[in-house]
Chains A and B, each alone.
Chain A
């Protein structure tokens, strides 16, 4: 058994230590937020936060997670009570198919926790590991800027 700290909760999972975190989240913990995109760290659909840093859960074996804090989309809020970044994405209607959006939200969360007032160029650079295919980028950028404003205002 491996113990993982997921969204502040200790979760015991029975998994081969080489299993990437993504499959443990999705298949053993029945969580939807992290999504399989490429399994290669090229698209960011599986992005989670590990000790506050954006990470590819498709490439992170659970064996390296002892004592580290994992946060997923589910840890940021719920549909009834969304977190600041999630709320900004809803307010900007920043989704089409939405498959990439959880990864976008978590990568933005990592940035805004470290740098509450990023420039547009900093946001673009920071978000560049994550791919969107619907062309929602312009709305995603707006949502990240809106979230930055909301987080500064303490909302």
Chain B
């Protein structure tokens, strides 16, 4: 059936076309469609069904190890009434999938999941409509099942038989007939991840495993410090080394391509030894980092409350908190493969945003966007904006020098550690007074931070582009506005406080290059606010859990707090010397998943060493699609946050970063892993999805600080809360 005939054939499709979205689109407004359907309203942008009945889901989001492929397949399978095992999925690719920007901010379920679920439900109804017409019966008498539409007599017309032509090439409607929660067969079930069998048996799972015919290997020589200028390098000598195909120098960008990876590494090392650099920029003294930050120019915004200070009266408490630079620290250094052919570039990348990366690469290479094709393949977990985009730029520049051959570039460990954009160092201050009933009457909170996103979109945000002989300049850094916020993410407490004021002091100047690290400012703001809540509870002589509930009206917030406290056994806790318990809560971005963490820890008074015995979280992610996926994300978030909170801080001297390997930037190892981590999923069938991937970072950190204070009496306000700092606090 052609599209026009289809129009004429009536029924559901005419309704679809006559609805508002088209008209709104003509006015340049986004239709109020569910999730990312707003930006890509055609159903077949999301769901395609072949003549063989095979269902393929398309998403602009990328699998980062968060399990998004599996959850999205579940949604399509549920609404189309097919087995999840027969649903294929295509992720972020500038040639085939919708543009959903970055896979970031815990948005995937909310944006892409909502779009795919609604698109699948609408596709199902269209197919039922076609079947009804064919059978000369009412759609209400038919039912989607087993990959087709079932008739009352037990017959089945497969989707493949129904979907001919452009049946799904229609705009989404405003309303979908979603499968009601009571009839869910797939949603809410812990479906095993589709990617795990290959990952544990040596299947090609990552961009690192790509080996197109004729592929060459390359390495780049990173500058010793950001902004260093390459004065000279012995390009000729490196060019004579075994296997070397090409040495590429463009300004301060220096790289080498060889037939084999080990040859590329050896040539890179020789080049690095020969290279002379001019380092200009001076870094702050590490032990004066926070005063240096506070001395920089700020742009101040009152993000909550009035122009004047709250009226502090009565019992007043104040505190200042500090967070160092921390790194993403992917286990597998960043990698990309690029090929230039016939004036077009194809880049296989683990970037979180293939479309923004495409724009940046096109600008850098001076090519039209259409000539750059970015395909996402998985990488090692990134936890935000790490070296993924930068290495894609490296690969594109090197591939340009060797047309026709795919060029694979992987960073070395030192390159990843010293070259990735870090999570920013931050300072916060809190001041509050309690009324006579032990409630918070006045509150002021201030946060000082650099930007939390220097992601590309502009070529100037690609490290290599900044080094070219004709360099690209990074666009001026900007703050991510509320309600999501960047440095001020979760800076506004969810607690009910009559007189509260929150100020964001945005610092444009960046002593070290920084960008998005999982949860952005929320990690530090929740650490600060939830540490401070315990300080206030102590001043009020209140139990920390009860004190939080005293200030919370949101029923779902109260539910996760009670669920975590109950599972932990908060009320039956027996104090023991050297052992403490801590509690913390936040709703990520104040609009995504709710997460409460209760934690028990031991503190060794002699060494200052902290061991987490048990961490219990309760999380409300709205309707839970894959409960084990949620548990996996929250467990991982807790353990990763404990690593950040106990151990992690980027070191540097006046010239350069000195955290250049895992010895110089220690992270959690197995002996330090909590004895137990438990996650209670508070399911809310029928409620919108609430992003979960970053929800545990802040609460885990504050719960640990609170447990250390409970165990030892030492309130530590500077991260990380490592043994040295605990010991110093105990001796003070």
Contact = CB atoms under 8 A, between A and B. Distances in A.
A17 to B, nearest CB: 11
A27 interface: yes
A40 B413 contact: yes
A138 B668 CA distance: 12
A98 B65 contact: yes
Interface in B192-225: 192-193, 195-206, 208-209, 211, 217
Contact of B331 (A16, A20, A43, A90): A43
Contact of B65 (A27, A134, A141): A134
Majority-rule SS of B interface residues: loop
Nearest to A133: B331
Given A36-B410, A93-B192, A95-B196, A31 B673 contact: no
B66 interface: yes
A128 B636 contact: no
B628 interface: yes
Contact of B670 (A72, A96, A141): A141
B179 interface: no
Nearest to B202: A33
B65 A138 contact: no
Interface stretch (B25-33, B39-47, B375-383): B375-383
A1 interface: no
Interface in A53-90: 72-74, 76-79, 82, 86, 89-90
A115 interface: no
A117 interface: no
Contacts of B410: 36
Contacts of A135: 635-643, 668
A108 B633 CA distance: 23
A124 B674 CA distance: 11
Given A74-B201, A131-B667, A139 B635 contact: yes
A95 B639 CA distance: 14
| Most chain A CB neighbours (cut-off 10 Å) among B192, B200, B641, B677 | B200
A74 B636 contact: no
Contact of B206 (A99, A123, A138): A99
Given A133-B330, A137-B670, A74 B211 contact: no
A26 B378 CA distance: 17
Contact of A82 (B197, B379, B412): B197
Contacts of B639: 135-138
Contacts of A40: 413, 661-662
A39 to B, nearest CB: 6
A74 B201 CA distance: 6
Contacts of A138: 635, 639, 673-674, 676-677
Contact of A131 (B197, B198, B211, B662): B662
Contacts of B641: 135
A52 B85 CA distance: 37
A73 B201 contact: yes
Given A23-B260, A27-B217, A96-B632, A78 B332 contact: no
Contacts of B633: 96
Contacts of A77: 201
A96 B671 contact: no
B202 A37 contact: no
Interface in A116-138: 123-125, 127-128, 130-138
A105 interface: yes
B366 interface: no
B661 A79 contact: no
B673 A96 contact: no
Interface residues of A, number: 58
Contacts of B198: 79
Given A133-B331, A137-B670, A37 B413 contact: yes
B201 A79 contact: yes
Nearest to A45: B331
Contacts of A137: 639, 668, 670, 673
B457 interface: no
Contacts of A36: 208, 332-333, 410
A26 B638 CA distance: 33
Contact of A32 (B197, B205, B260, B331): B205
A145 interface: no
B331 A131 contact: yes
A30 B215 CA distance: 12
A97 B65 contact: yes
A134 B197 CA distance: 18
B327 to A, nearest CB: 10
Nearest to B675: A120
B604 interface: no
B262 A97 contact: no
Contact of B662 (A43, A86, A139): A43
Nearest to B677: A138
Contacts of B202: 31-33, 72-74, 102
A101 B200 contact: yes
A32 to B, nearest CB: 5
A101 B199 contact: yes
B720 to A, nearest CB: 16
B293 interface: no
B669 interface: yes
B650 to A, nearest CB: 15
Contacts of A79: 197-198, 201, 203
Contacts of B635: 135-136, 138-139
Interface string A15-30: 1100110010011101
A18 B235 CA distance: 24
A35 B332 contact: yes
A98 B64 CA distance: 10
A143 to B, nearest CB: 9
Contacts of A131: 331, 662, 667, 669
Given A23-B260, A38-B662, A134-B640, A95 B331 contact: no
A149 to B, nearest CB: 18
Contacts of B640: 133-135
Contact of A136 (B64, B217, B636, B661): B636
A93 B679 CA distance: 15
Nearest to A124: B670
A99 B260 contact: no
A127 B669 CA distance: 8
Interface in B638-654: 638-643
Given A27-B260, A135-B635, A97 B64 contact: yes
B231 interface: no
Contact of A37 (B206, B242, B331, B668): B331
Given A95-B196, A98-B65, A98-B199, A37 B332 contact: yes
A99 B332 contact: yes
A86 B671 CA distance: 22
| Most chain B CB neighbours (cut-off 10 Å) among A40, A138, A141 | A138
A4 interface: no
4 residue pairs, one from A and one from B, having the closest CB atoms: A97-B65, A135-B639, A97-B381, A98-B199
Given A90-B196, A131-B667, A138-B674, 15 more contacts: A16-B242, A23-B262, A27-B260, A33-B201, A36-B410, A43-B662, A45-B331, A78-B201, A82-B201, A99-B380, A133-B329, A133-B381, A137-B673, A138-B635, A141-B673
13 contacts: A19-B262, A27-B262, A31-B202, A86-B201, A93-B192, A96-B65, A98-B199, A128-B670, A133-B380, A135-B636, A135-B642, A135-B668, A139-B632
